[in-house]
Amino acid sequence: MIEDITLVTGGTGLVGRAVQEVIEAAPPQGQKWVFVGSKDADLTNYESTKALFERVRPTQVLHLAAFVGGLFANMEYKVQFWRKNILMQDNIMVLCHEHGVKKLVSCLSTCVFPDKTTYPIDETMIHNGPPHPSNEGYAYAKRLVDVQNRMYNSQYGCNYTSVIPTNIFGKHDNFNLKDSHVIPGLIHKCYLAQKAGEPFTIMGTGKPLRQFIYSLDLAKLMVWALREYNEPDPIILSVGPEDEVAIGDVARSIARAMDFQGEVRFDATKADGQFKKTASNAKLRRYLPGFKFTDIDDAIGETVAWFKANYASART
């Protein structure tokens, strides 16, 4: 007998595909998981989202769909980052409420945190000042997920919450040269530089620091949050501050995984974005003290191998 139907929006994306891999590796008894992408419903449109909910009849929702991109896309399309994300998250909340969905987990990002802050940042500090101007459209839209969750909880007693992952990478990522996040963008650039026998060029100084999380690690934590995490307040899903790495070191790890022997260059005329957004994972550690993250060089190696094997069909 099916006890729960879990709808995963963004099921065709980086995180959605990783959640699907985790679920298929150990299919849970009595549960049906439905993974959907933008071809199944346009979540910016209420009627389309309503039709999806009427077809699937979910009892739980993992809302991963979003208008997502790296620093350079965020700087160029602020209005779209704001509006598409606001519309999607509002339609999802309204329909979860209309359908009596028992649990909703949505996704924020460490990009939402204030630019001027003390480190490490924690879950209580989201609204303590403006975000970095480079990604304010995305950041303000995503901050409102947290506000909406608390309002639905306070007025209707809904079990809606959010998770805050750091910079995610892995198989099925968006490897577009212009709009992607840094790791998939640099994997694609290194691949092309190797083919052409040209230098591998990294944007910015390579000095900014980031906490990266492998999509399969995050997927396990997302499934845990859906099952076990019941506070309306968000939880940061991240490696600890001690595992923060410089962009330059990540670029060199990619070059090693690709066996790239040419010159590695930094183009300091390009934006560095926020220097760091060091996030505390103390709350996660209180819940899951023994969780083991994949070593970043191993995860980059797996992602590079996947990209090379799937170049023809990868999102580029």
CB atoms within 10 A of CB 267: 11
Residue 16, H or E segment = helix 14-25
Per rule CB under 6 A, is residue 37 in the interface with ligand NAP?
A: yes
Least distance to ligand GDP, CB of residue 113, Å? 11
Task: Select the binding partner of residue 72 from ligand NAP, ligand GDP, none (C-beta < 5 to 8 A, by kind).
Answer: ligand GDP
Establish whether 311 is a catalytic residue.
no
Which CB, 160 or 200, lies closer to ligand GDP?
A: 200
Tell me the number of residues near ligand GDP by CB under 6 A.
22
Are 225 and 163 in contact by the 8 Å Cβ rule? The answer is yes
| Count of residues in the chain | 316
Describe the crossing of helices 247-258 and 182-196 by its angle, rounded to 10 degrees: 40
Strands 245-246 and 209-210: antiparallel
Q: Which two tokens stand for residue 189?
A: 């650039």
Is 167 a binding residue for ligand GDP by CB under 6 A? The answer is yes
By the rule CB under 6 A, 120 interacts with ligand GDP: no
278 binds ligand NAP (CB under 6 A): no
CA dihedral of 210, 216, 217, 218, whole degrees rounded to 10: 70
Helices (H), 177-295: 182-196, 215-228, 247-258, 282-287
Site string for ligand GDP, 68-87 (x = CB under 6 A): --xxx---------------
Of 162-201, binders to ligand NAP (CB under 6 A) are 165, 167-168, 174, 181
Beta bridge partners of 265: 201
* Residue 33 bridge partners (DSSP): 6
- Of 39-47, 55-63, 140-148, 204-212, which segment contacts ligand GDP by CB under 6 A? 204-212
| Residue number, 52 or 71, with CB nearest to ligand GDP | 71
User: Which residue lies nearer to ligand NAP by CB, 87 or 260?
Assistant: 87
Helical H runs in 125-242? 136-156, 182-196, 215-228
Helices first, then strands: H and E counts in the chain = 10, 12
- Round to whole Å and give the CA distance between 232 and 146: 8
Selected binder of ligand GDP within 204, 236, 254, 293 (CB under 6 A): 204
Contact in structure between 86 and 69 (CB atoms under 8 Å):
no
The entry of ligand NAP, ligand GDP, none that residue 203 binds, CB within 5 to 8 Å by partner kind: ligand GDP
Q: Which residue is associated with the tokens 């990522």?
A: 173
User: Catalytic: which of 46, 138, 160, 311?
Assistant: 138
The SS3 call for residue 126 is coil
Say whether residue 43 binds ligand GDP (CB under 6 A): no
Question: Under the criterion CB under 6 A, does residue 203 sit at the interface with ligand GDP?
Answer: yes
Site membership for ligand NAP, residue 109 (CB under 6 A)? yes
Q: Does 121 bind ligand NAP (CB under 6 A)?
A: no
Q: Which is nearer to ligand GDP, 168 or 223 (CB)?
A: 168
The amino acid present at 237, given as its one-letter code, is L
Active site residues: 138
Residues that bind ligand GDP (CB under 6 A): 70-72, 111, 167, 180-182, 185-186, 189, 202-204, 208, 210, 247, 270-274
Residues that bind ligand NAP (CB under 6 A): 10-16, 37-39, 41-44, 64-68, 107, 109, 165, 167-168, 174, 181
